[in-house]
């Protein structure tokens, strides 16, 4: 009787999706009169209520997902939320289907609540490159309206249990997802993101599926609920949004037939290592020392094993072999790279590995997922999560992560795209393990000004500019690719200074730093013999990059940063200091960052000093408000600082 009552409740919830049920999703006048979302005044629309249920149909044994949503459109900028799109997954073995689509739009017109229903003729399928999307625009959408729609997805793919996104780019008041998973299927269930459930309830039904032969399976029925979900708005300093969008993911672990046979789907690391070892694009290409033993010139081969020799080998590879722009497409072999002088990420870096090993160096390949690709799953092996390969060189108790795809990269620095937390290091004799992938040192942006006042009332002098680490990568690339364009762009980007001479001091395109010397003039404001002067002729931040009311994902700079700005003004005997700003000291919580601004006068010289320090590469969401305030003060210092000097 208990089981019967349970399934009556579940079936009633199914009916509520398939019929026009005003009990669960009743549209009220107060719904329609809402003009702003009180928890986020910037929202253009928000989900008032959404509900989904996924279960296995008894007769067809297909996965059925029923979804219903009620959405408030606050203004014209939210009209796009009334254009509904439902992606359809398919491959050579079959395709999902979408049906039972229903929808209505509610407005207040002349004081009366009106309802406009979706017509079948307004529903269509958009096919693009083998990928299909069912689309329909909700009718009669106006500012302040409420839309309600429902649909059913039927899928033959039990390996791809329907994921559920609790979070999207508009807020949600309430999101509920019910899963009914037969005991024949065991999934790894993962909650992604930083939000937690408001409630989670589970029950077991002991006979949810039956076969004609009399086989039975139990189902685990779980109800997940989140409330007051903030919008996920993509902002600066983020990796892939899929790392943080709050959602439920399902990875099929094993299946069990009604007759007792068990099939493991999710691999163990032991089985994954075996598969990687035998793969032609990875394992087999990792051991080609004989193919690469005669590549190096004698001037490098005859050197003793040392860090200098390793650097020479790295330089030889980056200068003689070209990356073709792909990560692993084409599966080019070491022999092909040796012949063609070009290859993908895997083959270029495995070439480097083999050359280093042929010279007696200890190296290990490391698989990782790039920032745009998202985090690789750590709970269990998912081979498709990895899309990149680098080499870990171990020498004299030090480790050097190497990537030979970019001739602008210094030895021991990976491309920015690789700074995604961690990677899986492989030793085909002793197994594999996770290693951290992070920038070991601070990246530095530095400007040093030395100025004095000329007779024509302009400041003149020079700037010594230097960047190290990751900020220098793109700067070096821009200069060495096209010096003339670099010089021209620099002038355009710094219009308040007149550049008389510009010299780049860096000679090698993959040096650890990029340094330049610039001779300038600057015209300050002069009123009644007084000089009003903002010393920040170049700004680190033109505006605060943090603007959200709430951010539910980390601020990921990728590396630790130091910004340093100094200016020395030679007052000589014809300038007097009238006014300088007070010293400013600000800090982030838990000693994770700081900024100091100060001025000092000594030996007839005025010195302005400004330093910003970020001591973490990644700041968790709880730091967001502090970071936002910190950056606001930094921008204010740069924009509003005024020094007043008087001519004698």
Read off the pLDDT of residues 241-296 as tens digits, 9 standing for 90 and up: 999 999 999 989 888 876 667 888 778 889 889 888 888 778 888 888 888 888 99
Same domain, 242 and 279: no
- Of 214, 240, 263, the residue that ends a domain is 263
Q: What is the reported pLDDT for 3?
A: 39
Same domain, 546 and 603: yes
Same domain, 280 and 228: no
Q: What is the reported pLDDT for 17?
A: 35
Q: How many domains does the chain have?
A: 3
- Count of C-beta atoms within a 10 Å radius of residue 170: 24
Same domain, 96 and 145: yes
Residues 6+ apart with CB under 8 A from 479: 486, 504, 506, 514
pLDDT at 150 over 70: yes
Section 479-486 average pLDDT: 96
Q: What is the reported pLDDT for 392?
A: 97
Q: Is the pTM of this model over 0.85?
A: yes
Q: What is the reported pLDDT for 11?
A: 36
Burial status of residue 26 (CB atoms within 10 A of its CB: 0-12, 13-18, 19 or more): exposed
pLDDT at 563 over 60: yes
Residues 344 and 347: their CA atoms lie apart, in Å, by 5
Cβ atoms of 29 and 115 within 8 Å: the answer is: no
- Give the pair of three-digit tokens for residue 401: 């992560």
pLDDT at 1 over 80: no
CA angle centred on 280, ends 277 and 285, rounded to 5° = 75
* Bigger pLDDT: 3 vs 114: 114
Question: Which candidate, 402, 345, 375, 366, places its Cα nearest to that of 556?
Answer: 375
What CATH number does residue 409 fall under? Answer: 3.10.620.30
* Bigger pLDDT: 281 vs 592: 592
Residues 252 and 264: their CA atoms lie apart, in Å, by 9
Indicate the range of 87-91, 109-113, 486-490, 520-524 predicted with least confidence: 87-91
Q: What is the reported pLDDT for 170?
A: 96
Cβ atoms of 227 and 198 within 8 Å: the answer is: yes
Residues 595 and 632: their CA atoms lie apart, in Å, by 12
Section 6-17 average pLDDT: 36
Same domain, 413 and 550: no
What CATH number does residue 172 fall under? Answer: 2.60.40.3140
Cβ atoms of 250 and 163 within 8 Å: the answer is: yes
Section 209-234 average pLDDT: 87
Residues 6+ apart with CB under 8 A from 409: 318, 403, 415, 473, 510
pLDDT at 15 over 50: no
The rounded percent of the chain whose pLDDT value lies above 70 is: 94
Same domain, 103 and 64: yes
Q: What is the reported pLDDT for 410?
A: 94
- Of 219, 234, 263, the residue that ends a domain is 263
Residues 6+ apart with CB under 8 A from 40: 46, 171, 230, 231, 549, 550
Mean pLDDT computed over every residue of the chain: 91
Q: What is the reported pLDDT for 331?
A: 59
Residues 194 and 499: their CA atoms lie apart, in Å, by 48
CA angle centred on 405, ends 330 and 445, rounded to 5° = 145
Name the 3-class secondary structure at 11.
helix
Q: What is the reported pLDDT for 616?
A: 97
Same domain, 591 and 554: yes
Q: What is the reported pLDDT for 4?
A: 36
Same domain, 25 and 157: yes
Q: What is the reported pLDDT for 424?
A: 96
Same domain, 429 and 451: no
Question: Which candidate, 75, 74, 16, places its Cα nearest to that of 50?
Answer: 16
Question: Which candidate, 29, 22, 232, 49, places its Cα nearest to that of 144?
Answer: 29
- DSSP letters of 313-375? HHHHHHHH-EE-S-SSTT---HHHHHHHSEE-HHHHHHHHHHHHHHTT-EEEEEEE--TTT-P
Read off the pLDDT of residues 367-392 as tens digits, 9 standing for 90 and up: 999 999 999 999 888 888 999 999 99
Same domain, 603 and 493: yes
pLDDT at 536 over 50: yes
Section 312-329 average pLDDT: 93
Cα Rg, the chain, nearest whole Å: 31
Residues 412 and 500: their CA atoms lie apart, in Å, by 37
Residues 6+ apart with CB under 8 A from 404: 314, 317, 318, 321, 323, 348, 349, 351, 352, 391
- Of 437, 464, 499, the residue that ends a domain is 437
**Which residue segment(s) compose the domain that 505 sits in?**
443-647
pLDDT at 486 over 90: yes
* Bigger pLDDT: 276 vs 361: 361
- Give the pair of three-digit tokens for residue 5: 């009552």
> Hey, which residues does 104 pair with through a beta bridge?
117, 148
Helix axes 483-493, 471-481, angle to 10 degrees: 120
Read off the pLDDT of residues 63-84 as tens digits, 9 standing for 90 and up: 999 999 999 999 999 999 999 9
Same domain, 430 and 297: yes
Using pLDDT thresholds of 50, 70 and 90, give the confidence band for residue 130.
low
Same domain, 74 and 100: yes
pLDDT at 20 over 50: no
> Hey, which residues does 220 pair with through a beta bridge?
181, 204
* Bigger pLDDT: 213 vs 417: 417
Q: What is the reported pLDDT for 21?
A: 41
Using pLDDT thresholds of 50, 70 and 90, give the confidence band for residue 93.
confident
Residues 412 and 401: their CA atoms lie apart, in Å, by 5
């Amino acid at each position: 009787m208990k089981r019967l009552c349970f399934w009556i409740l579940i079936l009633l919830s199914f009916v509520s999706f398939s019929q026009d049920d005003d009990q669960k999703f009743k549209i009220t006048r107060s719904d329609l009169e809402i003009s702003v979302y009180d928890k986020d005044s910037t929202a253009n629309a928000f989900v008032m209520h959404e509900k989904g249920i996924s279960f296995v149909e008894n007769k067809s044994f297909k996965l059925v997902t029923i979804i219903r949503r009620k959405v408030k459109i606050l203004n014209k900028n939210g009209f796009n939320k009334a254009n509904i799109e439902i992606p359809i997954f398919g491959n050579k073995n079959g395709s999902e289907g979408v049906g039972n689509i229903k929808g209505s739009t509610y407005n207040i017109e002349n004081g009366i609540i009106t309802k406009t229903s979706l017509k079948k003729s307004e529903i269509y399928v958009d096919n693009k490159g083998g990928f299909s999307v069912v689309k329909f625009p909700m009718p009669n959408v106006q500012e302040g309206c409420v839309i309600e729609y429902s649909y059913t997805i039927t899928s033959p793919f039990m390996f791809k249990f329907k994921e559920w996104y609790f979070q999207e780019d508009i807020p949600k008041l309430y999101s509920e997802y019910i899963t009914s998973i037969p005991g024949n299927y065991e999934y790894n269930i993962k909650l992604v993101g930083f939000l937690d459930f408001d409630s989670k309830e589970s029950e077991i039904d002991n006979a949810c599926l039956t076969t004609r032969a009399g086989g039975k399976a139990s189902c685990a029925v779980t109800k997940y609920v989140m409330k007051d979900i903030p919008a996920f708005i993509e902002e600066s300093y983020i990796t892939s949004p899929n790392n943080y969008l709050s959602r439920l993911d399902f990875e099929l672990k094993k299946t069990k037939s009604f007759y007792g046979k068990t099939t493991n789907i999710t691999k163990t690391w032991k089985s994954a290592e075996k598969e990687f070892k035998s793969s032609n694009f990875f394992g087999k290409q990792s051991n080609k020392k004989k193919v690469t033993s005669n590549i190096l010139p004698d001037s490098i081969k005859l050197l003793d094993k040392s860090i200098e020799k390793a650097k020479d080998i790295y330089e030889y590879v980056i200068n003689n072999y070209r990356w073709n722009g792909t990560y692993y497409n084409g599966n080019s072999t070491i022999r092909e790279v040796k012949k063609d002088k070009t290859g993908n990420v895997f083959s270029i870096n495995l070439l480097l590995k083999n050359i280093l090993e042929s010279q007696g160096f200890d190296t290990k390949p490391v698989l990782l997922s790039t920032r745009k690709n998202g985090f690789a799953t750590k709970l269990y092996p998912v081979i498709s999560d990895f899309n990149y390969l680098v080499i870990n060189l171990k020498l004299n108790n030090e480790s050097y992560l190497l990537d030979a795809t970019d001739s602008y990269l210094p030895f021991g620095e990976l491309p920015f795209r690789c700074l995604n937390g961690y990677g899986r290091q492989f030793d085909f004799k002793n197994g594999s393990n996770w290693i951290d992938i992070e920038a070991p040192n601070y990246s530095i942006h530095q400007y040093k000004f030395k100025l004095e006042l000329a007779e024509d009332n302009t400041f003149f002098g020079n700037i010594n500019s230097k960047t190290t680490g990751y900020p220098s990568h793109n700067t070096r690339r821009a200069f060495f690719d096209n010096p003339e364009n670099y010089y021209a762009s620099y002038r355009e980007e710094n219009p308040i200074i007149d550049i008389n001479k510009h010299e780049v001091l860096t000679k090698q395109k993959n040096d650890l730093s990029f340094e330049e010397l610039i001779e300038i003039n600057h015209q300050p404001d002069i009123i009644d013999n007084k000089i009003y002067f903002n010393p920040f002729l170049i700004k680190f931040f033109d505006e605060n990059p943090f603007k959200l009311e709430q951010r539910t994902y980390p601020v990921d700079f990728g590396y630790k940063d130091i910004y340093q700005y100094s200016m020395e003004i030679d007052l000589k005997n014809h300038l007097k200091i009238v006014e300088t700003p007070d010293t400013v000291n600000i800090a982030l919580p838990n000693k994770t960052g700081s900024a100091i601004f100060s001025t000092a006068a000594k030996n007839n010289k005025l010195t302005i000093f400004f330093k910003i320090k970020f001591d973490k590469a990644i700041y968790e969401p709880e730091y967001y408000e502090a970071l936002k305030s910190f950056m606001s003060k930094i921008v204010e210092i740069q924009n509003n600082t005024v020094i007043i000097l008087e001519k004698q």
